[in-house]
Structure 1
Amino acid sequence: MSMITLTPKPLTAEAFAPYGDVMSVETPEKLLNINYGNTERYHNLAKVDVNEADGSTLINIFRSRPLPLPIDIKIMERHPLSSQAFMPLGNQPYLVVVGKAGEFDENALEAFLAQPGQGVNYHRGTWHHYCLALNSESDFLVIDRGGEGNNCDEEEVQQTIRIAP
């Protein structure tokens, strides 16, 4: 069996654009001062897309345990009816593994190292791995779709895909 090694790249808005949005106070589309100047609003950080087939917005917290290193990718998923956003609630980095929307291509996956304070919003149909916490158990605020219809496709990876340390 062949092996692909993915070396995580820094998570930037430009590098991640084919897969979705990076949410961060470092890259706001618009910054507003509100509440009489006592609050900064980092406005419109992601395009939430949940309305297909009368879907509704869900707000969840996911708690992820780190996997033993090195991490081998075994399964990828996508949400054909909606986007899905993850914002870390702690101060630990985490890994993001993605593939472009469309037919699954395990030879074209990319890995990103997300820093604390950087969230991701996967566009509809973007292939991604579930949360890959590093260092310690990590909580994520997750915004996704509720409603009728199958909104999670999974594909098993056929070769060894390892995340390099």
Structure 2
Amino acid sequence: MSRVLSSQPLTAAAFAPFGDVIEVSGVPDKLINQGMCGRHHDLARLDFTDGRAGISLFDAKARQFPHVVDMVERHPDGSQAFIPVSGVPMLVIVAEDQDGSPVNLKAFVSQPGQSVNLLRGVWHGVLAPVEKPGRFIVIDRIGDGPNLQEHWFDDPFVVETVTKAP
């Protein structure tokens, strides 16, 4: 048996308990490079217990709706940012933690120009570009020791297509 989970557009306010929506809005914080470049400063809360920040490129296969979520994972030692390079939207699954288990799953679909930074220890689904394969820059912890916990659901969730924002 599966549980239905409706997806919604990704907004900074709705996503705040789980991390940061990285996007440009408004005017830059300051102009640099002789006024030729606007800097939108410090858009994500990168956080690592140890190790260092690393930048990797991920090539991810396309996912379709309805999308089955049978597992979520978290990284207790570092935040993890996903920045689309190919402009493909992504399905972002997140969950609250209750005594070491994920609860109250939420599903978001990013819009063009949006990236996400998942806070350290936040339960989340795997990288899931929607409709087409995608390439992503991933900024996360590089260091010794395990930094991955997985939770497999006895009853998976099925994510439906995106619903309109309230």
**TM-score normalised by structure 1 residue count:** 0.90
Q: 2:101 aligns with which of 76, 99, 104?
A: 104
Where does residue 6 of structure 1 map in the other structure?
A: 5
Where does residue 66 of structure 2 map in the other structure?
A: 70
- Name the Cα RMSD after superposition: 1.6
Deviation at 1:87, TM superposition (A): 0.8
Q: How many residues align?
A: 160
**TM-score normalised by structure 2 residue count:** 0.90
What do residues 86-137 of structure 1 show as CA deviations (whole Å, max 9, x unaligned)?
111122211100012452234x100001112111111110000111111211
Deviation at 1:27, TM superposition (A): 6.7
Percent of residue pairs identical: 39
Where does residue 56 of structure 2 map in the other structure?
A: 60
- 4+ runs deviating over 4 angstroms: none
Alignment partners' CA distance in 2, 1:110 and 1:100: 9
Alignment-mate amino acid for residue 41 of structure 1: R
1:8-157 aligned at under 5 Å gives the runs: 8-26=7-25, 31-50=29-48, 52=49, 54-101=50-97, 103-106=100-103, 108-157=104-153
Alignment-mate amino acid for residue 140 of structure 1: F
Give secondary structure in 2 for the equivalent of 1:15.
helix
Give secondary structure in 1 for the equivalent of 2:40.
strand
Whether the aligned pair in 2 keeps the contact of 1:101 and 1:124 (CA below 8 Å) is no
Alignment partners' CA distance in 2, 1:80 and 1:12: 24
Deviation at 1:160, TM superposition (A): 2.5
Gaps of 5+ in 1: none
Gaps of 5+ in 2: 162-166
